[in-house]
Amino acid sequence: MMKNLLLPLFALLFTTGLCGQTLVSATFLATQSKAEVTDAYNLSNTPVSNGIHLFKITYTTLDIKGQPDTASGLVVLPDVVGTFPLTCYLHGTVNGPEDVPSRLDEDLEPRGDALPAPLGAFGYVVAAPDYLGLGDSRGFHPYVHAATEASAAVDLLFATREFLQTQSVSLNDQLFITGYSQGGHAAMALHRSIQQEYADEFTVTAAAPMSGPYSISGAMKDVIVSDEPYFFTGYLPYTILSYNEAYDLFDDLGEYFKEPYATAIRQFASGDLDLQTLNGTLSSQLSAQAGGVFPKRMLQDSILAIAEANDQSHPLLMALADNDVYDWQPMAPTRLFYCTADDQVTFRNSIIADSVMQANNAPDVGAIDVNPFADHGACIDPAAFSTVSFFADFQDVDIRTGTRDLELVDDLLRISPNPAWDRVDLVWYGSEGHLEVYNNQGQRLHREVLAAEQSGSYDVSSLPAGMYLIYATDGERQTWQKVVKR
């Protein structure tokens, strides 16, 4: 029997916040030098500023029922003394509770999602929550549940500030937010939560959600109930199991799923199957039973009919809508990086979010296709590089190493026109130095020596259309500039 959906109650529960968030423990995990970071994460064509120290943090937060819990996450610190921005990185969908950033693999890289480490090497203090139900937190992970994604993240931010009181690294007042896939959804939820509930504690400098399912009740539901094959079958039951934890949708899983699918889903819910195995099992069963991998065929006919009719009064559809994260007005600069050929999270999520935020008069938001031909896995690198480039426009770092620091100077290099079509003119105002050109994959395309106060014109007609990053330095000052080639 369906139970009433208590949306107002849960909205109240997760907007009140956790009073007295506390750091429980901090455990040193590993150190990677600048050279080791460069080698481990294939950054040889992208200049990094420092090595990193990695710590596992545990901290108090609330679970999905509002009860105290201890959660875990990864904190990455630059290995130099200085003052840095804080960045919250939200990881994507993982295979199981141990496949999270606070657990390192044999190469000392964060499991599940390695991006927090390179971000730390670019001069950020990075806080990467494992989320509820993963890492040290108990219970079933509330997958793509916006409220707890945000609460677990913001409580880690508080714990990270407390932890840094004992470290040689300090924070300035900047906060950057990013994440990929599920992490894109979580990043959007966190940004909204901080702006609406924690503005007195944190101010978001810029945000870059990447390839996230922002429209759960729209774009993602449409993919699931379509007649097109969708090979990531586990996402549907994972989401419904999660929302049952939050909204008490059913008494028995059989109310929503047919056999033989319900048996495998129960095994996943109990922890006897991981997500990858669930995907393979359900896909094989669908191929045999339904003539193709159509996830909607797992649903009971009554539930499918409600989803296809888009009955917004039904508890399931209300739960989906409650976890949409795009209908608000971000005040900080926000970029939604995506790839049109994404086979897991349809690009329509980013287009919808961009259009609604624009209609809500967001002052600086944009959706950018970083590679129209990349699928979900191949989209990670160009999206991440675009995020680093975007954040670099705002990043403020004060490194105190005993050596002369490089001053970041915006007007050291003048580039025109921008966007460019056939040619660009460069005027360099520095002393003797060098210039490097990178594409949106982070690959260095060109390097040349610069004479003092050099100017020149360059033919760019043969370059593919897209965004390029120009780095130039004279050993005392540096500048990063973006150029769009039409």
Would you say residue 9 has pLDDT above 80? no
- Give the list of residues 6+ apart from residue 402 with CB closer than 8 angstroms, or none: none
> 340-396 pLDDT, tens per residue?
999 999 999 999 999 999 999 999 999 999 999 999 999 999 999 999 999 999 998
Please state, rounded to an integer, the average pLDDT across all residues of the chain: 91
Residue 400 covered by a domain = no
d(CA 2, CA 264): 22
Residue 48 covered by a domain = yes
**DSSP letters for 106-161:** TTS-BSS--THHHHHHTT-EEEEE--TTSTT--S---TT-HHHHHHHHHHHHHHHH
Question: Sorting pLDDT into bands at 50, 70 and 90, what band is 7?
Answer: very low
CATH number at residue 418: 2.60.40.3080
pLDDT value, residue 21: 60
Residue 398 covered by a domain = no
Same domain, 151 and 59: yes
d(CA 274, CA 283): 14
Of 341, 359, 392, the last residue of a domain is 392
Same domain, 82 and 231: no
d(CA 3, CA 429): 68
What percentage of the chain reaches a pLDDT higher than 70? 93
pTM of the model: 0.82
> 265-284 pLDDT, tens per residue?
999 999 999 999 999 999 99
Same domain, 378 and 237: no
CATH number at residue 111: 3.40.50.1820
Eight-state DSSP code of residue 231? S
Torsion of CA 350, 351, 357, 362, to 10 degrees: 90
Task: Count the neighbouring beta carbons within 10 Å of the beta carbon of residue 437.
Answer: 19
**Phi, psi dihedrals of residue 236, rounded to the nearest 5°:** -65, -55
Residue 79 covered by a domain = yes
Number of structural domains in the chain:
3
Any idea which residue has 């393979």 for tokens?
Answer: 280
Same domain, 53 and 107: yes
> 101-160 pLDDT, tens per residue?
999 998 889 998 899 999 999 999 999 999 999 999 999 999 999 999 999 999 999 999
Contact 58, 114 (CB under 8 A): no
Same domain, 267 and 348: no
Peptide bond into 101 cis (omega under 30): no
Same domain, 171 and 186: yes
**DSSP letters for 433-453:** EEEEEE-TTS-EEEEEEE-TT
Same domain, 244 and 348: no
> 30-41 pLDDT, tens per residue?
999 999 999 999
Same domain, 233 and 161: no
Q: What angle do CA 102, 108, 111 make, to 5 degrees?
A: 45
Instruction: Tell how far CA 192 is from the center of its chain.
Output: 14
Contact 122, 47 (CB under 8 A): no
Same domain, 99 and 239: no
pLDDT value, residue 441: 60
What range does the domain containing 40 cover? Answer: 7-215+324-392
pLDDT value, residue 4: 34
Same domain, 210 and 221: no
Same domain, 188 and 328: yes
pLDDT value, residue 187: 98
Of the candidates 269, 212, 239, the one whose C-alpha atom is nearest the C-alpha of residue 383 is: 212
Contact 323, 144 (CB under 8 A): yes
